[in-house]
Amino acid sequence: MLSTGVWGLIGPLIGVAIIVLIISWCMLKRRYKLNSTQEDHCIITFSASKELLSGEPLSKGIPIKEIYAATNSLNDLNFIGQGIAGKVYKGVLSNGWHVAIKHIIKDGYAETFVREVTSLSHVRHPNLVALLGYCEEEDQCFLVYELCSKGNLSEWLFGKDKILSWIQRLEIAIGSARGLWFLHTYPGGCIVHRDIKPANILLDEDFEAKLSDFGLSKVMDLGVSHVSSEVRGTFGYVDPEYRHNHRVNAGGDVYSFGIVMLQILSGKPVINLNVIKPLPLDKMAKLLSKGGDIFEFADPRLNGEYSTEAFEIVLKLALSCTGHKQQRPSMENVVTRLEKALEISTRLEKALEISTRDSEAYYVSIT
């Protein structure tokens, strides 16, 4: 009878203990799952890319032997650039594709690899550099992109032996703006680039602009106005409001693109340190627009060969992009206004061609 009474007491207690253990295990599992989805608190493992690439990605895994064969074992003769996360080499894959291969050392830069793969593996647009594949080893990884043979916009704006015409500059601005517009309105959520600058705008054989380097990008869920993050980006291109409140949203990219447009117009760096009182590029443009000759802001290498009407449109657009965030245009609006500037410029160029042709014909007729 005593034994029966003891089990009568212990039995329910054991049952309750089992139920508590099951509930605790479920809660811990759910908590781990939720935490693992938060980017700022997750532990990025070196095999993370395989999980991130589930769901029929457009890019694919590439064997390490293929990487070394394409670059002749990362030969210095194939070196074409240096980024924060590692070196970039040109190469040719076994299928004949000409590619750019970014070599990332995982010590401290695994997050860059994961960001690039997640941002680009499922995304395709004519004005975004295409991620063709990736390779992941124990202590290093590689990202394989299409090769943009004309280099980057920075080389053309600030290089000594390279000059872009007014029409080319407008077309590059439009292509870059279309790429950003696509990212900001991506169906899966707004993709904020966070590092828009001339060095990250690549140019293909036909000078088609392609945004590159998504190592700092953030993806915002649909319906979310911003996400909080540490301040990242390049000096001179970072939105002052973002520096103050640490809120990431599309407006930060719009600001950066405004600075890029000012550089396309002027051919000047973001800040001139070779003067007694250095002045940021946007403040210089604002001063000229308020009381000076705005055409003093034009790149001297253009030799005055541009539409003054179109120049004024782009300058005002750039300044609106670098103004207060609430007053900044969307990238859709930026594209529309840039296309108007291109239309005006193209019409003027054709009129000048006809005028020149008529003048030459008249000269021939009288001689």
Residues classed as catalytic: 195
> What sections of 217-273 are H helices per DSSP?
240-245, 250-266
Each as own residue / partner, the long-range contacts of residues 85-88 (CB below 8 Å, 24 or more positions apart, any chain) are 85/109, 85/112, 85/113, 85/215
Selection from 99, 94, 136, 100 nearest residue 117 by Cα: 136
Q: How far apart (Å, rounded) are the C-alpha atoms in residues 240 and 246?
A: 10
As given in the structure block, the two tokens for residue 280 are 């940021």
- Rounded alpha-carbon distances, angstroms, from residue 82 to 39, 72, 103, 136, 166: 26, 18, 10, 20, 29
Angstrom distance (rounded) from CA 109 to CA 112:
5
- Could you tell me the sign of the dihedral formed by the alpha carbons of 127, 306, 149, 115, in that order? negative
279 neighbors 272 (Cβ within 8 angstroms) = yes
Q: Which residues, 6+ apart, have CB-to-CB distance to 90 below 8 Å?
A: 71, 78, 80, 98, 99, 100, 101, 147
